[in-house]
Amino acid sequence: MNYLTGKAGHLRYDTALERSWPIATGIIEGTCRHLVKDRLDITGARCGLSGAEVVLKLRAVRANGDFDAYWTWHEQQEFARNHQTRYRDQVIPTA
């Protein structure tokens, strides 16, 4: 009861409904299930927090339809990191 009383200013569902604002609990729960539970709650899934974060970010990018734009950006970043700094001034390092 204390929690709800303390959050009363944020729980104005009547105002949200009057203004046709979405009440997002179902959307958020569905997204969590789709992005997190369906991937990390399968038999044999083992990954630490950092590995899980990477997988979930990629799933979110793919689910949002942004994967192609992300992959173009990723390839540009990898090229700059691996090639442009290494071969600066046209100098190829010797082995």
pLDDT of residue 72: 94
> pLDDT tens-digit profile of 71-91?
999 999 988 888 776 666 666
Residue owning tokens 């339809």: 65
> pLDDT tens-digit profile of 11-51?
888 888 898 887 777 777 887 777 677 777 777 767 777 77
Cα–Cα distance between 73 and 59 in angstroms, integer?
16
- Alpha helices (H) in the chain, listed in sequence order: 2-6, 13-18, 25-32, 38-40, 49-63, 67-79
End-to-end C-alpha distance for the chain, whole angstroms:
69
